[in-house]
Amino acid sequence: MTNPQEELAPDSRAATARSVPSGGVRRKWTGALTGQFWVVWGATLTNQLGSMVIPYLSYYLTQEQNVSLSVVGLVLATSGFGGIISQLCGGLLVDRIGYRATMMLGMTGTGVFLFLLGAVDQVALIAVFAFLVGLAAEMHRPASASMIAAHYAPADRPKAFGLLYWAVNLGYAFSMVSGGSLVRHGFTLLFWVNSVACVVAGLLVWFMGRPTSRPTAAPKRPETSDAPSGSYLDVARDRLMLAYLGSWFAYGVVFCQGLSTLPLAMKADGIAPSTFGYVMATNAVVIIMVQPVASPLLSRLDHSHVLIGGILVLGVGYGATALVSTPVGYAVTVAVWTLGEVAVSSVNQAVIASLAPPSLRGRYFGLYGMTWSTAALAAPLMGTWLLQWRATGLWAVCVLLCFGAAAGQWLLVPKIRERSAMTRLAEAAG
């Protein structure tokens, strides 16, 4: 069985760097990151560049396969269910077979299943492969997060997590544009390009992520056993982690309204569906432009305070949606809550890394990912029900959920600081 400590091994700079070269934001952000991180970053970007099929899957099923809307809903639900357990499986695999193997398995598996999904025409097989695509597609997330948590010091983790999140959004923005162009030439080409991109990403991690030699100058790291003790039950017994995830679930339910009820609210105001794409492009543009500047600044502040501030800004942005009715107005509100998203994404996973024992980091990140996927399924159920009642009621509830999540985070600050200090001491003593 592969020892995760022998994978994607960093050089000595990863754990010792505290200062960075002067000369600009880019060098400040990337100064402590090693070549192995950039392999993961490049693979994540490549994988995300090809994420074209799922956003267009409903169009494919109705136009190419001529299935009913109820069947479309069933297929999308099976894919979503696969996504819920995907990160749980990924987290378990990280602690068992290591980061590199888990990322390669998830990315290449997604590519293979996407190719098969585009090749079958029976509804039952379409549902099966849609589930398998969802099951494999998210496995790489706990793997990349665990790699950063294991190989980078707490002061450097926000920079790494922020840059990885930036790659995801950069790839997503490109995939939406290129996917719309490719689909004009047929859905088959869309499936092929997406499949190849995922396989290439997995192979990139497997071959380029393999260290040529183990660094001798690296400081001793906490050991990760070949057979780590503990299970998801141990994570479930961690009351601090569960409380943190409860706050995270509330935040996720609000955040996911952007892709579920926001387009319905815009439609009710007489705004064309095509305009929704331009409004949501504001989200990607703000992240791509702001995150490289904001992350190195936010990483120096107290992580819990940044998290609380980001949640509140996101709540204000969604709450302001009740006051607008034009495309420009909606774009402004998207820009506001995106600033909150940037703040949260800059420190959120670094906080989770500080809560998790080294031998269970994969499972901690897996449960975190499952919580997010569950929130993504709950969001449209809550949002559409409230939207039918009253649109202003929906956005008011979003504000209340965010303020409740922020209050929960505020109550957890002393415990998170205490746990973080214990984790740092354990890593230093390891």
pLDDT band at 1 (very low <50, low <70, confident <90, very high): very low
77 and 198 part of one domain: yes
DSSP state of 6: G
At 48, list the tokens. 């995300």
pLDDT band at 56 (very low <50, low <70, confident <90, very high): confident
Output the pLDDT for position 208. 78
Q: What is the amino acid identity at position 31?
A: G
Q: What is the mean pLDDT of the segment spanning 309-331?
A: 96
Out of 128-142, 166-180, 248-262, pick the least confident.
166-180
> In this model, does residue 215 exceed pLDDT 60?
no
> In this model, does residue 110 exceed pLDDT 80?
yes
Output the pLDDT for position 230. 63
> In this model, does residue 423 exceed pLDDT 80?
no
Nearest to 344 by CA among 368, 380, 377: 368
Q: How far apart are CA 60 and CA 190, in angstroms?
A: 10
The more confidently predicted of residues 229 and 49 is 49
DSSP 284-325: HHHHHHHHHHHHHHHTTS-HHHHHHHHHHHHHHHHHGGGG--
> In this model, does residue 221 exceed pLDDT 50?
no
Q: What is the amino acid identity at position 272?
A: A
Output the pLDDT for position 333. 97
Q: Give percent above pLDDT 70 in the chain.
A: 85
Nearest to 413 by CA among 247, 294, 251: 247
331 and 202 part of one domain: no
Q: How far apart are CA 376 and CA 313, in angstroms?
A: 20
Q: What is the tally of helices (H) and strands (E) in the chain? A: 18, 0
Output the pLDDT for position 430. 57
Mention every residue, 6+ apart, whose C-beta is less than 8 A from residue 239. none
Q: How far apart are CA 101 and CA 6, in angstroms?
A: 12
Contact 164, 44 (CB under 8 A): yes
14 inside domain: no
Q: How far apart are CA 20 and CA 281, in angstroms?
A: 33
Q: What is the mean pLDDT of the segment spanning 94-121?
A: 92
Output phi, psi for 404, to 5 deg. -65, -40
Residues for the chain: how many in total?
430
0.75 cut: is pTM over it?
no
Q: What is the mean pLDDT of the segment spanning 124-134?
A: 92
DSSP state of 61: I
202 and 240 part of one domain: no
In angstroms, the first-to-last Cα distance of the chain is 22
State which residues form the domain around 81. Answer: 40-157+178-211
147 and 266 part of one domain: no
Nearest to 348 by CA among 288, 298, 393, 407: 298
275 and 134 part of one domain: no
299 inside domain: yes
DSSP state of 55: G
Output the pLDDT for position 313. 97
225 inside domain: no
Contact 265, 334 (CB under 8 A): no
pLDDT band at 359 (very low <50, low <70, confident <90, very high): confident
164 inside domain: no
> In this model, does residue 12 exceed pLDDT 80?
no
Strand spans (E) along 139-280:
none
Mean predicted lDDT score pLDDT of the chain? 81
DSSP state of 220: P
> In this model, does residue 371 exceed pLDDT 80?
yes
199 and 255 part of one domain: no
Q: How far apart are CA 259 and CA 376, in angstroms?
A: 9
Output the pLDDT for position 296. 81
Q: How far apart are CA 160 and CA 327, in angstroms?
A: 34
389 and 285 part of one domain: yes
113 inside domain: yes
199 and 257 part of one domain: no
148 and 73 part of one domain: yes
Q: Give percent above pLDDT 90 in the chain.
A: 32
151 inside domain: yes
132 and 244 part of one domain: no
Number of domains in the chain: 2
252 and 360 part of one domain: yes
220 inside domain: no
Contact 34, 189 (CB under 8 A): no
239 and 380 part of one domain: yes
CATH number, domain containing residue 243: 1.20.1250.20
DSSP 230-267: --HHHHHT-HHHHHHHHHHHHHHHHHGGGGTTHHHHHH
Chain centre distance of CA 377 = 15
380 inside domain: yes
